[in-house]
Homo-oligomer: A and B are copies of this chain.
Amino acid sequence: MSKGDRGRFFEDFEVGQVLEHAGPRTVTEADAVLHLALTGSRFALHAAAPLARAWGLPAPPLDDLLVFHLIFGMSVPDLSVNAVANLGYADGRFLAPVYPGDTLRARSTVIGRKATSSGRTGIVWVRTEGFKGDGTPVLTYVRWVLVAKRDPASPPPEPVVPELPASVAPDRLVVPTGLAPRAVDPAVTGSPWFFEDYEIGERIDHVDGMAVMESEHRLATRLYRNTARVHFNDHVERQGRLGSVIVYGGVVMSIARALSFNGLGNAWGLLAINAGTHANPCRPGDTIYAWSEVLDRADLAGRTDLGTLRLRLVASKNRQAADFPRKDESGAYRPEVLLDLDYWALVPRRAVAASVGAR
């Protein structure tokens, strides 16, 4: 038998199964710089050491989505090498900031599975958890994925579908350990808007468009150690349904999040991922636009310096976001929509804004 692994199929997953993912990875400043070069992110906290230290952190933490992609990537060889599609995310929480020098590892537990009516595929639900080398949890989230069956004739298992919250309750959100911003200066962070400046229902066009090219998405996806075949094998994918490889949805997330700086420049980090849909595939060469909607606002227990906004981040391809494209009249995603991400963002309150004299 060849030792080359072809990955798990639907039949290989059982509820309760625990998969320790291989490939622990020590993250470095270089990961942060490459993420910046690949996405154009401009959030100040992640790039300026004196700012991070002034705000109580030992160093600039890695971008939260970079952490998400690294943990996600570790899970791919065990979960989704044969995935047809990532169907969704739920109940995701960021539990501790990650710094250069930390070593990440990950584990997933199968929490549900259900055959689809086509007979050729099934849905698998997993909870994936990321840890530091010393066991500190850094991230937990549920995702579900459409996986090919090895044998279309294999009988469908008893369906197990987990119950998942529509969103993470604010009292379950974890503020990064140590973070205590003060004298937050719009001239330094690049945004004049604080927590109090956002209203529920408000929509923000992030204006700019950024194309994602062939080499960029591959560099990013390899940086995250995501080995799913649809992102890399041109020889096969050019002959496939889309006529090209697909850009990993996490790359779309990160570019949309980077674009959202223009209007959300003080939305420093993600506290939770409530839900996420990759509505349509992104191909190399597509230009990504983004807009956001404020879905909710919440206090953070015991914090007068920080609040949290529940945001919907929508990315579209080759279509500007000025009129906030999302779904059509039938309730289906418009074909230009790539991503619909629902998350809690950490935002400073006006109480910690720099006084003009203090600059």
- Chain A: residues with CB nearer than 8 A to chain B? 2-6, 20, 22-26, 28-34, 36-40, 42, 44, 47-51, 60, 77, 101, 103, 105, 133, 186-191, 193, 197, 203-211, 213-216, 218-220, 222-223, 225, 227, 229, 232-236, 245, 262-265, 285, 287, 289, 318-319, 359
* A223 in complex: contacting residue of B37, B213, B319, CB < 8 Å: B37
A2 to B203, Cβ gap below 8 A? yes
Bound-state CA distance A30–B44 (Å) is 18
A5 to B207, Cβ gap below 8 A? yes
A135 nearest CB across to chain B (Å): 12
Bound-state CA distance A5–B285 (Å) is 25
Known interface pairs A2-B203, A227-B42, A229-B208. Does A235 touch B318 (Cβ–Cβ under 8 Å)?
A: yes
* A263 in complex: contacting residue of B4, B44, B210, CB < 8 Å: B4
A209 to B227, Cβ gap below 8 A? no
A77 nearest CB across to chain B (Å): 7
* Residue of chain B at shortest CB distance from A209: B233
Q: Which residues in B have their C-beta under 8 angstroms from that of A193?
A: 3
A283 nearest CB across to chain B (Å): 12
Bound-state CA distance A49–B100 (Å) is 12
